[in-house]
Amino acid sequence: MATGIRDKVAILGMGCSKFGERWDMGADDLLVEAFQECIEDAGIDKNEIQAAWLGTCFPEISVGQSALPLSISLRLPNIPVTRVENFCASGTESFRGAVYAVASGAYDICLAAGVEKLKDTGYGGLPEFGANAGPRAWMTGVNMTAPGSFAQLASGYGAKYKKSDEEIKRALAHVSAKSHANGVKNPKAHLRKAVSEEQIMAAPIIAHPLGLFDCCGVSDGSACAIVTTPEIAKSLGKTDLISVKAIQLSLSNGYEMGYNEWEVDHFVTTSKASEKAYEEAGIKNPREEVSMMEVHDCFSITEMVTMEDLHISPRGEAIKDIMDGFYDADGKVPCQIDGGLKCFGHPIGASGLRMLYEMYLQLLGRAGDRQLKDPRIGLTHNLGGFPFMNVCSVAIIGRHG
Residues noted as catalytic:
88, 346
In whole angstroms, what is the distance from residue 41 CA to residue 26 CA?
23
DSSP letter assigned to residue 128: P
In whole angstroms, what is the distance from residue 233 CA to residue 387 CA?
40
Residue 307 — left, alpha, or beta (φ > 0 → left; ψ -120 to 50 → alpha)?
alpha
270 C-beta neighbours (distance < 10 Å), count = 26
Q: What is the CA radius of gyration of the chain?
A: 20
C-alpha distances (whole Å) from 58 to each of 131, 167, 219, 223 are 12, 37, 13, 16
Q: What residue spans of 22-164 are helical by DSSP H?
A: 27-42, 59-62, 68-73, 90-104, 135-140, 146-161
Q: Are strands 51-55 and 81-84 parallel, antiparallel or unpaired?
A: parallel
In whole angstroms, what is the distance from residue 381 CA to residue 274 CA?
9
Cβ atoms 245, 394 nearer than 8 A: no
For 42-67, the DSSP string reads: HTS-GGG--EEEEE-S-HHHHT-SSS
Strands (E), 203-308: 205-207, 210-211, 221-228, 242-251, 292-294
